[in-house]
Amino acid sequence: MRFFVKNRREPTPSSDEYPFVVLNNDNWDDYHFKTMFHPVIHAKPGLTVELPEVKILKRDQGYGRTEISRVFDSLDNTYCSLGQELAYYENLLMLEPNDREQYLTALRDAATDPTIRKDFENEEGFKTSLLRWSSAEHALEAAQSVLAGTEGENGEFTFTFYTTFGDNEISAKFSYCEVQGLPGRINTIIGYNGTGKTQLLANLAQVAGADSHHRDLPDWITTYGRISPLALRFGKVVAISYSAFDTFAIPASPDSQKGFGYTYCGLRRVNDQNSSTGLKEVSEIAEEMATAISRIKMLVRHSALERALRPLREEPSFARAGCVLDVLAEDERWREEFNSLSSGHKISFNIIVQLVAALQQRSLVLIDEPESHLHPPLLAALMKGITNALEAHRSYAVIATHSPVVLQEIASRYARVLSRNGSQNAFEEPEIETFGENIGLLTRHVFNLDNSQSDYVGVLRELASISSLEEIEGLFVRGLSSQARALIMQAHRK
């Protein structure tokens, strides 16, 4: 197998001997190390496999770019490489076994050869550059099981996040397990405004997406928190929020997301100084979608996308809009349809596309108030689409919500009520079973909304003090509801 190294702007070399590989240089800087390449494998005529980034390091390498021959058949024992996310190794499964083994051997892959890993793990460049990202640490540990086809698991997974609000540390335990067909890949957090749901998600995004170096820093732990078990790594961390007021830190530019730790999907836009400059235009969101669609095509995730989008396409309001939104079509006609959609349809569609593009095995998705801009049937369809995406990539989510529609889809064992009493915080399971429960009961017993807190009760009581039941009934074209009539009769008895 022959490798050709080139700059992106140079023409792609050709070869009559297949397979061959083109390694495109990348100027990405890891604290002065430049080790990144973008591989494209020409497996045979008509089959080209594009891979996510790989980093290549030379033993005793100083700062600067990794020096490699422009043409080579195999790296010598002074080099090692590491794919920067699990999708790198998943895409290699598209090759014939002999070609895959030849490729990994030629690049001296550290994830699949323990001897190479041991030889290089104490190199400064290995720790600083090759393992800079949490996704690379996860790939280092999980690549062999992916390539061997033994990565299956039943979704059982638990971790605890410790973070501080004011002077009070809160312990938030998240548990996942698919039991006898019951959906178990989503945990929810509910609570009054001001209890810290969004801040908890924002802190969790920072810690879950951080590399080992940052996770161990005392100031980092004090500011954001810590995760137990300490060795836990996620394939990818994705933060989703379509609130203009969320507190997620976000990268200054799309390129800087490489080293940011987690992927942000939302409305806010920042400049290079990392200060907010307002909200994204629809055209910017469409461009982000186009980038995600390109990645889906590169990773050959067509069927995963179709399965995740199916609940949205079957939702009545989507059907009434008459949209096909075939985002995988080469003509990109989806752009015109996307621009014509309502804000709720745009957001729900974009969430699913971004998830399918970003997720790796055992990723963590953090979603803040998905009910924003969505009516209940569309929200329920979005929840199903999110679940399908998580299942396809053996991943997990935490959703902060005020919506009983979301809670109705989640068993109480996976739901937590975040409450605050003075300076003390609590993180507890609801007192009733939430899965499939009546929305009115959830609103009353979990969200603690009763009639006395509703404005319509005061209006009816005021009317009852000056009018008869018949006069009040006449104010409403369709008559009073049974509950409203009972409230008026109760007021008249007092």
Q: Are 185 and 395 within 8 A, CB to CB?
A: yes
> Six-digit token pair at 468?
């008869």
pLDDT for res 243: 80
| Calpha distance 297→303 (Å, rounded) | 11
Backbone φ and ψ of 300, nearest 5°: 55, 55
Nearest to 199 by CA among 239, 228, 158: 239
Q: What is the mean pLDDT of residues 442-467?
A: 74
Q: Are 367 and 240 within 8 A, CB to CB?
A: yes
| Calpha distance 257→179 (Å, rounded) | 36
Q: Which residue has the higher pLDDT, 253 or 123?
A: 123
Taking only the tens place, the pLDDT of each residue in 399-413 is 999 888 899 989 999
Q: What is the mean pLDDT of residues 267-275?
A: 61
Domain range list for the chain = 2-148, 157-445, 451-493
Residue 254 has pLDDT above 80, yes or no: no
Q: Which of 3-7, 176-180, 360-364, 474-478 has the highest mean pLDDT?
A: 3-7
Per-residue burial over 228-257, b if 16 or more Cβ lie within 10 Å, else e, is eeeebbbbbbbbbbbeeebebbbbeeeeee
Tell me the pLDDT band of 305, cut-offs 50, 70 and 90: very high
Taking only the tens place, the pLDDT of each residue in 191-227 is 888 788 888 999 999 899 887 778 888 998 999 999 9
Taking only the tens place, the pLDDT of each residue in 294-304 is 999 999 899 99
Q: Which of 8-17, 52-61, 162-171, 471-480 has the highest mean pLDDT?
A: 52-61
H or E element that contains 473: helix 469-473
Contacts of residue 78, Cβ cutoff 8 Å, sequence gap at least 6? 58, 59
Taking only the tens place, the pLDDT of each residue in 99-127 is 999 999 999 999 999 999 999 999 999 99
pLDDT for res 272: 46
Q: Per DSSP, which regions of 112-179 are E strands? A: 157-165, 168-176
H or E element that contains 175: strand 168-176
Backbone φ and ψ of 288, nearest 5°: -60, -40
Backbone φ and ψ of 308, nearest 5°: -70, -30
Average pLDDT for the chain: 87
H or E element that contains 227: strand 226-228
Instruction: State which CATH number among 3.40.470, 3.30.70, 1.10.3120, 3.40.50 fits the domain covering 157-445.
Output: 3.40.50
Residue 66 has pLDDT above 90, yes or no: yes
Q: What is the pTM of this model?
A: 0.78
Q: Which residue has the higher pLDDT, 322 or 82?
A: 82
Q: Which of 264-278, 344-358, 477-491 has the lowest mean pLDDT?
A: 264-278
Tell me the pLDDT band of 261, cut-offs 50, 70 and 90: low
First to last CA, the chain: 90
Residue 18 has pLDDT above 80, yes or no: yes
pLDDT for res 258: 54
The DSSP call for residue 110 is T
